[in-house]
């Protein structure tokens, strides 16, 4: 699907159990290729930003048709040196993501509320600057998980399994020792299915037994709630 001349991707999310995960892997490996060289998957760590009204949080909870999230993302504790400044837009079940690389110094500038360098950058960087200055965008929560990903050229399909979802108790995603708390119950994980215009029938058939529990909530929401719960417990007598 295209919107304003830009390609959008379908995104479907499901909560599945580990037995379902292992059963799916046995079937998917026949038709799909593993994305990445890490046996158990790779670490994804994202710092999500929200405005003073927690708009991203409440729009997701309310199921608003069109919404967006701002985040900064790294992989495998940033061993590759890549830090992604991202904006993820969602229209119903369609998504579009734009990103730009930033340096560690620029990351810490944003963490300190100093976004001036963004003004000289690309359109997404200027978008970030406007959001930080007009909507008072600021760090909200770190979302941390281990991702096992598989891809298929037909339909540009990508199926990911996000395990060990945890919420950061600090905002410094470049700190490999960032303290975290569990954000999902034990024994379950998140399966995401992304594709362009169509999902091949054989893949749709393969995932069908595990796709009955469609996920209405996001990892961002789960981590916000987990962090808030931990902090309330920490301060209660």
Q: What's the gap between Cα 128 and its chain centre?
A: 17
Rounded distance, CA 196 to CA 212, Å? Answer: 21
> pTM for this one?
0.93
Phi, psi dihedral angles at 196 (to 5 degrees):
-85, -105
pLDDT per residue as tens digits for the range 175-224: 999 999 999 999 999 999 999 988 999 888 888 766 556 666 689 999 99
Instruction: Identify the architecture of domain 2-235 in CATH.
Output: Alpha-Beta Barrel (3.20)
DSSP conformation class of 214: B
Rounded distance, CA 160 to CA 143, Å? Answer: 16
pLDDT per residue as tens digits for the range 129-183: 999 999 999 999 999 999 999 999 998 999 999 999 999 999 999 999 999 999 9
The domains of the chain are located at 2-235
């Amino acid at each position: 699907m295209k919107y304003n001349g830009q390609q959008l991707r379908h995104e479907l999310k499901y909560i599945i159990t580990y037995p379902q995960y292992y059963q799916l892997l046995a079937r998917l490996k026949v038709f799909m290729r593993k994305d990445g060289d890490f046996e158990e998957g790779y670490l994804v760590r994202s710092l999500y930003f929200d405005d003073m009204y927690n708009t991203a949080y409440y729009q997701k909870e309310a199921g608003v048709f069109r919404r967006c999230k701002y985040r900064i993302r790294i992989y495998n504790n940033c061993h590759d040196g890549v830090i992604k400044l991202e904006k993820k837009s969602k229209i119903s079940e369609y998504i579009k993501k734009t990103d730009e690389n930033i340096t560690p110094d620029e990351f810490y500038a944003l963490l300190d509320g100093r976004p001036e360098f963004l003004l000289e950058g690309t359109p997404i960087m200027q978008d970030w600057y406007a959001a930080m200055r007009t909507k008072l965008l600021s760090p909200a929560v770190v979302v941390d998980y281990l991702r096992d990903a598989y891809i298929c050229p037909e339909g540009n399909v990508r199926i990911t399994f996000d395990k060990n979802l945890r919420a950061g108790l600090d905002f410094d995603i470049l700190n490999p020792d960032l303290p975290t708390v569990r954000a999902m119950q034990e024994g379950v994980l998140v399966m995401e299915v992304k594709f362009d215009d169509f999902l091949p029938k054989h893949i749709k058939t393969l995932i069908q037994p595990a796709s009955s529990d469609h996920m209405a909530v996001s990892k961002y929401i789960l981590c916000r709630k987990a962090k808030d719960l931990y902090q309330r417990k920490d301060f209660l007598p």
